[in-house]
Amino acid sequence: MSKPQEKLPATQQGERGLPVKNETIDAVSNRIKVLQNSGELHFPPDYSPQNALKSAWLILQNVVDRNQKPALQVCTTASIYNALLDMVITGLNPAKAQGYFIVYGNQLVFQRSYFGTQALAKRVNSDIEDITAVVVYKGDEFEYRLSKGKRIVSRHTQKLENINSKNIVAAYCEVYNHEGEIIASDIMTMDEIKKAWAMSKIKPITEKGDIKKGSTHDEFTEEMCKRTIINRTCKPIINSSDDKHLKLAASRSEVVRTENAIEEEIEEHANQDFIDVDEVKETSGQEEPREEQAKEDTPDNEEGTSDNNGSGRVYVHCENPDAKSYFKKRIAIEVCENNCRFFSKCETAQDALKKAVAGTETGEGEDGQKKLGPDF
């Protein structure tokens, strides 16, 4: 169902030879109209889906994947359609830096920027007037309190000389309503921020936990901190929307990214080293060395008891806490030619076993499957 994009005929060519209208765009427009007419989708008055689609299409001409191949050639039509639809449903416009297009394999996704996240939060919750993010530096006077599960800054004063991107200790975000009250707020320490960055695909954090030199996170640390805290504060607001289309559109890029990251991990780690069971000697050959080992061991305080549950299997209970058995306290020994598993090196246990075996010698093994080993 997903034809390569280049095969789609551009129905109209722009002045510079760019396709400005296309079947994919038409399909997205039609779908939007259906949703609008059925009352499932409402746009803010200042949002024009058509304008956003035109901007997106122009931007898409220049989007390339990591091998510098044009996105419109490598991505499936279905993923292009979905990325554009996600963009329009969330009411964002790439021309306003509210998001950008990224290629994962053959999947195109619309990745919301933090400007987009703010715009979307405002749309989901019409009470929101403003969303601010502030960075806290070493030496700032900073206090916060907890209220209804939210961390709210109660005092923050800063001096100009404190401002130094190497001395960031935290960042906080405050969401105000039209009356100027804080309706949402969160604080992240620099440690938490770095942990969040460490999850990022571009890996801006070294293994020691420092910011990588020369990375965007190194050069624009303040801005990246603000971005992280805004995203974190706005995410619950966006997720609280009861518009299923919007929620899906807002989260699908994450699913595609997860899928892509997992594919890479699988490629790297799946089907690697060979494993096999270790060679096991025949039971009869195993008995003697075990007897010897048992004699070498001089357990000082132990008791052995045994029972036979009548199924041809003997259980030896060794009370010595230091018993060198794999399963310290209980050693099960199957009285059969094939094995005696988890046999203890403990002398008392062995004696108890011999007694137990002597008891079973007269008994009949179940189904004749379990017979006594020759050494018993």
Partner 1 sequence: MNINIYHSGSSANLYRVSDKGVSILIEAGVPVKKIKKALNYKLSNIAGCLVSHAHMDHAKGLKDLLQCGVDCYVSPETAKALDLSGHRLYIIKPMEQFKIGTWIIKPFDLVHDAPCLGFLMVSGENKVLFAIDTNYIPYRFRGLTHIMLGVNYDNEILMDNVTLGHIHPELTKRILKNHMSLRTAKNFFRANDMSKVREIYLLHLSDGNSNAERFKTEIQQITGRPVYV
Dihedrals phi, psi of 12, to nearest 5 degrees:
-150, 140
Angle at CA of residue 29, ends 248 and 88, nearest 5°: 40
Residue type, 216: T
Residue listed under structure tokens 């094995």: 339
* Residue placing its CB nearer to partner 1 in the complex, 226 or 370: 370
Instruction: Tell me the DSSP string of 149-167.
Output: TEEEEEEEE--GGG--GGG
Q: Which is nearer to partner 1, 166 or 269 (CB)?
A: 269
By CB under 8 A, name the binding residues for partner 1. Answer: 82, 244-245, 247-248, 251-252, 254-256, 258-259, 262, 265-266, 269-278, 280, 309, 311, 315, 317, 326-327, 329-330, 332, 334, 336, 338-339, 341-342, 367, 369
Please give the structure tokens belonging to residue 60: 């898409």
Instruction: Give the DSSP letter string of 277-304.
Output: PPP---HHHHHHHHHHHHHH---SS--E
Nearer to partner 1, 36 or 258 (CB): 258
Question: Angle 77-89/49-60 helices, nearest 10 degrees?
Answer: 140
CB-based contacts of 253, cutoff 8 Å, min separation 6: 83, 86, 102, 109, 110, 111, 112
For residue 2, how many C-alpha atoms fall within 13 Å in the half-sphere facing its CB?
Answer: 14
DSSP characters for 91-159?
Answer: T--GGGTSEEEEEETTEEEEEE-HHHHHHHHHHH-TTEEEEEEEEEETT-EEEEEEETTEEEEEEEE--
Write down the least CB distance from residue 368 to partner 1, Å.
10
Residue number with CB closer to partner 1 (3 or 330): 330
Quote the least distance from Cβ 335 to partner 1, whole Å: 12
Nearer to partner 1, 161 or 273 (CB): 273
